[in-house]
């Protein structure tokens, strides 16, 4: 019975895993105008909107 339960769980996770491949973690360096130091902005973005995120000022 345990194998059947594991199989059922994996089939549900496969759909979630396939959807998760469409998302990417993007890290962008932003320079502070006040101190000149760099800070980093992180976001999890859909793969179609990566260029939009990087183009933001």
14-49 pLDDT tens trace: 777 778 889 999 999 999 999 999 999 999 999 999
Q: What is the pLDDT of residue 35?
A: 94
How would residue 13 be classed by pLDDT, with cut points 50, 70 and 90? confident
Domain boundaries, the chain: 23-57
45 or 11, higher pLDDT: 45
Contacts 24+ apart (CB under 8 A), 28-34: 28/53, 28/54, 28/56
54 or 13, higher pLDDT: 54
pTM for the whole thing? 0.59
Q: How far apart are the C-alpha atoms of 53 and 56, rounded to whole Å? A: 6
């Amino acid at each position: 019975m345990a194998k059947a339960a594991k199989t059922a769980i994996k089939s549900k996770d496969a759909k979630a895993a396939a959807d998760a491949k469409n998302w990417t973690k993007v890290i962008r360096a932003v320079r502070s105008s006040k101190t000149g130091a760099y800070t980093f902005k992180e976001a999890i973005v859909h793969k179609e909107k990566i260029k939009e995120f990087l183009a933001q000022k």
